[in-house]
Amino acid sequence: MSNREVVILSVGGVRFVTRASTLQQFPESKLARMLNDDDQEFKLVNGEFFVDRDGTLFTFIMDFLRTLQVSLPTDFSDYQRLQREAEFYGLYPLADLLSQEHLLKPRLEILEVRFSLQEMQAFFRIFGSCSTTVETLSEQITVFAGQQSGQSWNSPFPSQKPLVPLPLERPSHHDMVFQCGTDYSAGDQFVARYVSIKPDNRKLINGTNVLGLLLDTLLKDGFRLISTRTVSSEEKVECYSFERMRRPPGLTVRVSQTPGSSGAAQAKRSQAQKGK
């Protein structure tokens, strides 16, 4: 039985097809011993191993064996049940990771957009609880500046003169500041600032249009608008608050073969540090 390459399991009525080497990632586990007929919990029926356990949770067991990583859906809640399943199969490194439930649960991410109009200019300030998200968003947003003559700030078309990209202001890792519109310079000359937000290729000068595109970009990225309020009626500052559940970094088990251990598995925990 141990030399078969493809193994079929029926766990609680759910059928799984995998490689023997996948089940042998942890040689001391019940799944590895099953292939050598060393465990009576598994019955071989018509070429398939029958296991009277939860088939839905076994999906996560198989994902762990294939990737050596615990990465659960944001709406997952059966941590204790999955830990019991891992202990049943003798996958103690997985059970150990699942016992650290606080590291595996998704985290609530908050993002705030402040918007104000002052004459022919619009000002934006974005604050986010996750610095990685703010950094990614700053890479999507580009401000272009150029001089115009006798052109309304509401014009949807940029000047034919070359536009120069400007760096966004980053007061901290958690926020960014930028503006668009026109600013009176001298004579009939105006300094115009356009905003482009990837993947949209347009260069927009009207603050209301930029706000609409920014909010739409956040909604498509998985954020949910939870509130809209006026921070300052005198300065016409509007605040848009968003939230989303952010998947935590995967916890990984590294398996190494120790000389003289007959394939014993050693597990070490590691966690990505991004987004902290």
Same-domain pairing of 175 and 223? yes
Number of domains in the chain: 2
- Please name the residues in contact with 64: beta carbons below 8 A apart, sequence gap of 6 or more: 70, 86, 91, 94, 253
Q: What is the pLDDT of residues 118-167, one digit of tens each?
A: 888 999 999 999 999 999 999 999 999 987 665 444 455 554 568 899 98
Q: What is the mean pLDDT of residues 213-240?
A: 90
Q: Taking all residues of the chain, what is their mean pLDDT, rounded to a whole number?
A: 83
Same-domain pairing of 100 and 115? no
Same-domain pairing of 79 and 146? no
Q: What is the model's pLDDT at position 187?
A: 57
Same-domain pairing of 17 and 36? yes
The answer to whether 233 and 185 have CB atoms below 8 angstroms apart is no
182 CB-side CA count, 13 A: 19
Q: What is the pLDDT of residues 160-209, one digit of tens each?
A: 568 899 989 999 999 999 999 988 665 566 788 999 999 998 999 999 99
Enter the pTM of the model.
0.62
CATH code where residue 97 lies:
3.30.710.10
Q: What is the pLDDT of residues 10-41, one digit of tens each?
A: 999 999 999 999 999 999 999 999 988 766 77
pLDDT at 73 exceeding the cut of 80:
yes
Predicted confidence band of residue 233 (pLDDT cuts 50, 70, 90): low
What 3 state SS string does 117-140 have? EECCEEEEEEEECCHHHHHHHHHH
Predicted confidence band of residue 216 (pLDDT cuts 50, 70, 90): very high
Q: What is the mean pLDDT of residues 78-90?
A: 94
Domain coverage including residue 45: 6-104
Domain assignment present for residue 166? The answer is yes
Domain assignment present for residue 39? The answer is yes
Same-domain pairing of 140 and 58? no
Domain assignment present for residue 260? The answer is no
Domain assignment present for residue 264? The answer is no
Same-domain pairing of 20 and 89? yes
The segment with the largest mean pLDDT, out of 76-80, 99-103, 204-208, is 204-208
Q: What is the model's pLDDT at position 77?
A: 86
C-alpha of 274 from chain center: 10
Same-domain pairing of 168 and 190? yes
DSSP 273: -
Same-domain pairing of 113 and 242? yes
pLDDT at 218 exceeding the cut of 70:
yes
Q: What is the model's pLDDT at position 272?
A: 34
